[in-house]
Structure formats: structure tokens, C-alpha cells
Chain A
Amino acid sequence: MDTHETAEATTTPTEEVDWETKLRYFLNSDFVRSSPFWGIPFLIMGAAVYGGMGFNVAISLTDARGLTPPDYSLGNLDLEMYTQVLGSNAFLQATQNNLVLLVTFTTVCLVLGLFLAVLIDQGIRYDDKVQTIYLLPMSLSFVVTAQMWLWMFNNNNGLLNIIVTAFGFEPVNWIGDPSIALGSIIFALIWQFSGYTMVVYLAGLRSLPDDQFEAARVDGASTVKTYLRIIIPQLKESSVSAAVVLMVFALKAFTFLYALTGRYRPPNGTDILATLMVREAFKFGKWAYAATIATYLMVLALGVIAPYLYYQYRQGSL
């Protein structure tokens, strides 16, 4: 397993070792021998991920739109699109909606997921069956769940309005009213994702040693207090990793919004960066403009991922 000997031999040259021997050592090292295994997948993935990212930034520096191919000549490359995007109201509105979505969706998913995990961990009967039901929405495509929620939100016969009117209120225009549409969509996304946070927290809870709970009980602490003071602080790792996944999802959420209307424009008041980017690119053919929005999106996502990976690396848990 450990191959430091061979690795060292290649890097610390002694006088007797000529370059041929060094080369032979190098070619026999585990780095080279294992390179087909990690190297081929890395090249494919690297071309797609990093090649794609670089290509996208290159396009964002041009003025490409419509059918004319991007012109990469040096005189043509500038940051014009970036100032243009930053100055547009649609971009600012989408950014604002996106931040609201990100914060609300992530917070509620974490809280609800933690609550469900603690509930299931109370020694409920058939806990694995219950867990399977709570996680079920997560196995469905956003395209499918969007159709189900379109029907739930329906003005005349949707379940939500039937419940609302049964309590004597006026029916609500869930996704037609721009002031509440974003809230409705966040609600639906929470429905889909809280099972995921529950699973993450449940794994965290079940990895904690049993005796902590008993020790707290012996000390006379109530169940609620035990959870708040002792158990939940230990779930920091689960919280961080779930929060990163949820935040990145909130940045790239496109499918659910598109599938609600089946058109490039999502319900009024719910336009986010991802939907704006796709619309500008594939509806209006503003390739450079859309690539610029995509670059902003990429930077935002990296702003979430980089501290997380650094934190994981420092913890030694990568």
C-alpha cells in the first residue's frame, strides 16, 4: 500500500543512479502504474468540467450572439458583458430571488430534516419504512414533482386551495401571484429535500455513542435539553455538508421552475439566475451574455464549495 520508498527513489538522485535507472524507477512507480486507472477518468471529467468552465469564460469575454460564431481575436475580448449584466435589472432581480431561495430553502430544510431525524430516532416502530416514505420525493425527477405541485397549486381544484377554503379563507393564487409565488415554490422544494437532510442527520445521530444520552438522563437533564445542549452541537459536520449541498442546489435549481410552466419564463416573481441564464442563451441566443451570468453563478458556487473543501481538508476528513 505504502509506496514512499519508490517515490523517494525517484526524487532523491544519488551519483550512481543515471537517468535511465531513474526513468525505470519512475515508470515502475505506483504513480505511473496506477495512472491509467485514475488518469483516463480524470481526462474525460477534466475536459468536461474544467475545459467547459474555461470555454464558458472565453465565450463570456466575446460578444457572441445569434448565429455568428464567437470571435476570440484579442481585440474583441473584453469585460463588457460583465458590466452589462451587472447593470441589468433582470439580473439584480434574479440575484435577489436566488438569495431569498437559498437562505429560506436551506434553513427550513435543515431545521425540518433535523426535526424528522430526531423524531424517527425516538425508537418509533417501522422506522425504516417511515424513513423510506419521507425520502420518497427525493427519488423523483423535478420534472415529475413539478407536475404534481402544479396540480396541488391549481386555483380551482388543487388540494391546497381546497384545504384553504375549507378553513373559510379565500382561495390563493399560489404561483400566479408574484408576491407569493417564490414562497410556494420554496415550499414545494422543501417538501422534496427535507427527506435528504433527514437522512444525513439520521446517519449523524446514529454514529453518536449511546451512553451520552444515558449520562445526561442520570444528571437529570430533560430530553429537549439533552438534544439542544449535547446532541445537536455534535451534528455540526452533518449540518455543514447538508447545507453545502442545499445551497449549491439552490443556485442551480432550474428544472423544477421550468417544468412548472413548460416555458423559458418561470412563474412571475420566481426568476432566478439559472432560469435567467438558460433563457438568455437558448431563447434569445445571447451566448456571451448568458455565459457571463453562468460565470457569476460559477463564482457563487465556488464561494460555497471552496470554504467547505478547505474546512474538510483541515479536518482531515477529505
Chain B
Amino acid sequence: MSQSTSDSGIDVASFVEEFNLARIGQYVLVILFIGFFLAPLETGIMTALKTNEAVARTIPLAPPTGEGFTWGNLQFALEQLSGAFFNSLFMAIPATIGSVLFGSMAAYGLTMVRWRGQMLFLILFLIGIFLPYQAVLVPLARFWNNIFPLASMLAPTFETLPVVQDFHSNLVPLMITHIAYGIPICTILFRSYYQSLPSSLVEAAKIDGASISKIYRRIVLPISKPMFGVVFIYQFTQIYNEFLFAFTLITGSDTPEAVVTLILPAVGASTSGIDFGIRMSAAFLAAIPTLIIYVAFAEQFAKGLRTGGG
């Protein structure tokens, strides 16, 4: 379908040929939509770099000039968020690894090995993707606070560990929650990949007498490296960006174990209103980890999104 013109060399003949009204219209639309999608980000970044006076005086899209330029907002926001960055990464990285590994295992058992009734299990996994998390929030809060207070059980151990402090134990229930609810989407992402692999791969190994766990370790794991990249990028972005579970399981934005997304809606707010220079700086800083991942791995992210849904 696509008449791909991705060759980067300047091709004068085709360029002249393309120069007609319909083409111009298409490019105008493309550029207008680039403006539409980037304008909120552009105003955010520009505002982050302006003094309060410049924010009030200049239009949001304009870059800061001379006196109006400052690093102060970013510095202040970074101080506010630095602890939260550690908390977010400390929680998100193990949670991502956990859900990705479990997802790969489940997809292998449900796709590459055939047995009766696996469709039922698959459907149960699929429903887990779409479940509105509101439907489990009250139970989650009760479970981690009253029934199984893992955080306070772990706090003394965390106190003795290097790097982390006792309050970091509050991140462990959040981590486990993310692993559990991340399994369905990771399973479906891996499943779409395993389905595309030739079945002869496993069959041949089976004839050679390899066991199911050996096939997984020796064959499936090595060839699913690219898919591990896709799922890891997708899932890390999801967990790092997530708000609702953190909001439910961590008591407040002023606690030392709060993650980035939890603190952000409170940064730069005072009784006199919101300091948008500081707020935009904080928003931009909070977005940096996912922005870096997105810019570097846009294709993998799009692939994860296409297969798995929002």
C-alpha cells in the first residue's frame, strides 16, 4: 500500500514530479498536524526556561530571551523530584523485568506448547488487559494495608540494607502489584511474536528429545531477544508513567517514597496559585526517561502499542 519514498538521497526528477497542488496540500496538512501535536510540548519547555516575569509577559510558544531566561525553575524542580526519580526507577525496573519474564513464560506455555483448553486461559489473560483498575482498588488497598502489610514487615530489613532506607519498603507492594497486572499484556505481546515463529523449530527439538523447559531455555529465549526489547520498552514506559496504583498504595505526595508521577501534580503549587515555570520544568523532567526511550526506540514502542493496545 505505501508508496515508500524513504531513500534519503536528493532525487531531483521525482521532486519536480511531486511538485503539484495535491502534494503541497498534503505537506501543509502534515506540517499543521506536527504543530498540533508539538505545540503543548513546545509551550511547556519554553515556559520551563522562563522567569516568572517573562512567563507573564511573552507568548508561551516564544523562546525565552535575554533577561527572561533562567535555569532556576529546572534546578528547583530537580531538587523536588530527585528522590522521586530514584523511587520510580527502584520500583519500575524490577517490576518491568518481573512482568516481562512471567509474560514470556506464559506465552510460551500457551502458544508453543499445544494442549486442550488453552483458549480458555488465553481469554482469562486477555480480560486482564482490559480490566479497569478501579475494579480492584478497594481490595488492593485493603490487602496491602490490612491483610498482608508487607511494607511494614519489610521495613526493618530495608533499614539494614545499603542504598535504600526503611521507607523504600513501601515500594515493594507497588512493585508486586505492577508485576501481577502487567503479566496479561506482556503475555499477549510475546504470544503475537511466538505465533509468528515457525512451528518446525520446536518440533525438531522435540523429536531430538529436548524437554519443554530445555526448549524454552535453549531455543525460545535466545530467539525472542528482539521481542524482549519491545516488551521491555513498552512495559517500562507503562509502569514508569502509571499513577493510579501508586496513588492507591502510597499514602501521599509528601511522603519520601512517592514516585515521580505522584509528586508532579503538587510541584510548584502554593496558596497564590501554580508557578507554571516550575510546574512545566517538573513535567519536562518527569518525562525525560520515557522521552529518551521513545526517541531511541520509537519503532519498538509503536509495535508494542499496535499489538497490545493503549
Which of A's residues lie within 8 Å of B, judged by CB? 1-4, 7, 29-31, 33-42, 44-53, 55-56, 59, 69-70, 116, 119-128, 130-152, 154, 156-159, 162, 191, 193, 195-196, 199-200, 203, 205-210, 213, 241, 244-246, 248-249, 251-252, 254-255, 258-259, 261-262, 273-274, 277-278, 281-282, 287, 290-291, 293-295, 297-298, 301-302, 304-305, 309, 313, 318
Report the nearest A residue to B199, measured CB to CB.
Answer: A1
> Which residues from A are CB-within-8-Å of B83?
none
Residue pair A49, B181 in contact (C-beta under 8 Å): yes
The listed residue with most A CB atoms (<10 A of its CB), out of B4, B103, B139, B181, is: B139
Q: Roughly how many angstroms separate A127 CA and B6 CA in the complex, as a whole number?
A: 8
Report the nearest A residue to B139, measured CB to CB.
Answer: A55
**Contact flags B255-282 to A (C-beta < 8 A → 1, else 0):** 0000001001110010000101001101
Residue pair B37, A133 in contact (C-beta under 8 Å): yes
Q: Knowing that A39-B109, A140-B241 are A-B contacts, what are 4 other residue pairs whose CB atoms are under 8 Å apart, sorted by A's residue number?
A: A37-B108, A127-B5, A136-B41, A157-B59
Q: Roughly how many angstroms separate A77 CA and B207 CA in the complex, as a whole number?
A: 57
Selected A-B contacts with CB under 8 Å, 11 pairs: A1-B113, A2-B114, A3-B114, A34-B113, A133-B34, A151-B280, A158-B60, A162-B59, A274-B132, A278-B247, A282-B247
Residue pair B134, A41 in contact (C-beta under 8 Å): no
One of B158-166, B222-230, B283-291 contacting the partner: B283-291
Q: Roughly how many angstroms separate A125 CA and B60 CA in the complex, as a whole number?
A: 30
Q: Roughly how many angstroms separate A143 CA and B88 CA in the complex, as a whole number?
A: 14
Partner of B44, one of A31, A148, A261, A273: A148
Q: How many A-B residue pairs have CB under 8 A?
A: 346
State which residues 42-82 of B face A: CB under 8 Å. 43-44, 47, 55-56, 59-61
Residue pair A52, B139 in contact (C-beta under 8 Å): yes
> Which residues from A are CB-within-8-Å of B36?
191
Which of B's residues lie within 8 Å of A, judged by CB? 1-6, 26-27, 29-30, 33-34, 36-41, 43-44, 47, 55-56, 59-61, 102-103, 105-106, 108-110, 112-116, 118-119, 121-128, 130-143, 146, 177, 179-181, 183-184, 187, 199, 202-203, 206, 211-213, 216, 237, 240-244, 247-248, 261, 264-266, 269, 274, 276, 279-280, 282-283, 286-287, 290-291, 293-295, 298-299, 301-302, 305-306, 309-310
- Distance in angstroms from A202 CB to nearest chain B CB is 8
> Which residues from A are CB-within-8-Å of B299?
128
Residue pair A52, B298 in contact (C-beta under 8 Å): no
Partner of B136, one of A48, A209, A213: A48
- Distance in angstroms from B304 CB to nearest chain A CB is 10
Residue pair B123, A318 in contact (C-beta under 8 Å): yes
Residue pair B146, A69 in contact (C-beta under 8 Å): yes
Residue pair A38, B33 in contact (C-beta under 8 Å): no
Partner of A119, one of B29, B115, B125, B181: B29
Residue pair A297, B135 in contact (C-beta under 8 Å): yes
Partner of A38, one of B6, B105, B203, B206: B105
Residue pair B310, A193 in contact (C-beta under 8 Å): yes
Q: Roughly how many angstroms separate A271 CA and B36 CA in the complex, as a whole number?
A: 27
> Which residues from A are CB-within-8-Å of B137?
277-278, 281, 290, 294
Q: Roughly how many angstroms separate A172 CA and B298 CA in the complex, as a whole number?
A: 36
- Distance in angstroms from A301 CB to nearest chain B CB is 5
- Distance in angstroms from B74 CB to nearest chain A CB is 14
Residue pair B136, A56 in contact (C-beta under 8 Å): yes
Residue pair B301, A42 in contact (C-beta under 8 Å): no
Residue pair A142, B241 in contact (C-beta under 8 Å): yes
Q: Roughly how many angstroms separate A133 CA and B295 CA in the complex, as a whole number?
A: 9
